[in-house]
Amino acid sequence: MVNTKVNLSGLTLDNPVIPASGTFGFGYEFADIYDINILGSISCKGTTKGPRFGNPTPRIAECTNGLINSVGLQNPGVEKVISEELPKLAKFYHKPVIANVSGFSIDEYAYTCSKIDANEQVGLIEVNISCPNVHNGGMSFGTNPNSAFEVTKAVKNVTTKPVYIKLSPNVTDITEIAKACEAAGADGISLINTLMGMRIDLKTKKPVIANKMGGFSGPAIFPVAVRMVYQVYEAVKIPIIGMGGVSTAQDVIEIMLAGATAVQVGAANLVDPYACKNIIEALPSVMEKYNINSLSEIIGGSH
């Protein structure tokens, strides 16, 4: 028997497969089609301090081997996530979840993380620092090492649970951002978030997405994700959750060899709602094919 278990900052996951935030709702929406308890964990829909309606429509543009989205963090706000969404999920999912948090200022990040940290269901907090920093000229926190350091430090000061910082790939040197987060006390790194992309409608000669540009995800970005996970693994000593175009059990093993301890599956869920289930069920046979007895033993195995 192969062993698919991994340890993520003290959390033992039955397998490393986690639906990525924004692609799986709050999780309970999928409970009607299969037993979601087979999942290693669930990274819940991105949560902000207050409710957000999101960006204008259209928000989605299809492209070769991927898609572009500009949903805009639509969510009911942290109070309702704690009082309504997480209790709904608890009826169906009986393992610790990952709370994904976004913000538009350091104070917002700290407030939302402190609130979510107190929830018993939450085993780990994933902080998305790819949002605009309204206090610094609209620049993303995640594109500047100093800003990344400050957000990480502020969140760590108000939380007790492991904090993973989700990084943007839209930077010159991903390792500098990762090292800044580690220096500020981050327990781990999540990467990569979406690349920036755009489509233009040939009939209207206008951008397909109302917001013009959006996050590009899907199988086309997988090699970028593998490269960045590999680089960050060599730059820091904290664990990594790898993501970006993962759609097969083979992809899971490849990105773990690059340095990921756990793996999130994003756009694949939007194409096939059974994507995570299929990957988990295929993992043992793929492990046997490549003579892998335990997934925890292959983390960073390509270095």
Known catalytic residues? 131
Give the start-end residues of each E strand in the chain.
6-8, 11-13, 17-19, 60-63, 66-69, 97-101, 122-128, 163-166, 188-191, 195-197, 200-201, 206-207, 214-217, 240-243, 262-265
Radius of gyration of the chain (CA): 18
Cα–Cα distance, 18 to 276 (Å, whole number): 8
- H or E element, residue 251: helix 249-258
SS3 32: coil
Going by the DSSP 8-state scheme, the letter that residue 83 receives in this structure is I
Task: Answer for the pair 290, 253: CB distance below 8 angstroms, yes or no.
Answer: yes
Burial class (CB in 10 A: 0-12, 13-18, 19+), 175: middle
Please tell me whether residue 117 adopts helix, strand or coil conformation.
helix
Alpha-carbon dihedral sign for residues 225, 230, 233, 239? positive
